[in-house]
Amino acid sequence: MGLRKQQASPGAALAFLLGNPTLNPAVMVFIAAVLGWQFMLVRLVVGVLLVFGAASLANRLVADPLEVDVQDAAIEDPAKGGGTLLAEWIKTLWWELRTIVPGYLLIVLLLGAGRAWLFDPNLTLGGTGVVVLIGVALIGTLFVIPTAGEVPIVQTLMSFGLAPAAAVVLLVTLPAISLPTLFIVRSVFPRRVLAVAFGAVALAGLVAGLVVSFIPAFAGT
């Protein structure tokens, strides 16, 4: 949101939004140590294609990449005095708390309530078909997790029989974006850019899972 308020292009801000969790070097090392270098390599390659592909498409979709409808960013004006900056900061913080937190909590609660059904073993564990992978891709794109949280999730599900293809789908989609994230940044991105972000993440995860399902190196993982 700060990048957009500083008039960064939608593509640049989206690249930061997607790249920060997807291409995190520390998480890459964690993936290699816990799940194996094959999973890390897939995450890296797909992540790079996802970040730069989605960012490029976002800039193409917006005629004026610097045009954005956001709150006045007076807090970032160096000409403002200390008292004015504090007042603007409190005003901006209150606006964000009032407009973001209630919706964020509601979305997280609803997703949490549906987690038991969405992660039903009969729907995901052992499944490699296209329909199953589509469902896993949508689930992974919707849910919010902490940084590197996808690694223990995938590791645990694989111990219960999650197929490598579905594991790769979650490994790509879970960290990249989520429904709460889209809700938070909705005021600084056009809706078509948010749609591109959601669709690109889900599609990247799905394609990665389909490709992995035909690679023998993952059969024994």
Closest among 15, 50, 47 to 28, alpha carbons compared? 47
How many of the other CB atoms lie within 10 Å of CB of 45?
A: 12
Q: List pLDDT tens digits, range 26-68.
A: 999 999 999 999 999 999 999 999 999 999 999 998 865 544 4
Question: How confident is the model at residue 192, as a pLDDT?
Answer: 92
Burial class from Cβ neighbours inside 10 Å (0-12, 13-18, 19+) for residue 102 reads exposed
CA distances from 186 to 24, 44, 109, 131, 161 (A): 24, 27, 19, 29, 37
Cβ atoms of 58 and 11 closer than 8 Å? yes
Q: List pLDDT tens digits, range 150-206.
A: 999 899 888 888 889 999 999 999 999 998 899 989 888 999 999 999 999 999 999
Q: What is the pTM of this model?
A: 0.81
- Residue spans of the domains in the chain: they are 2-68+103-218
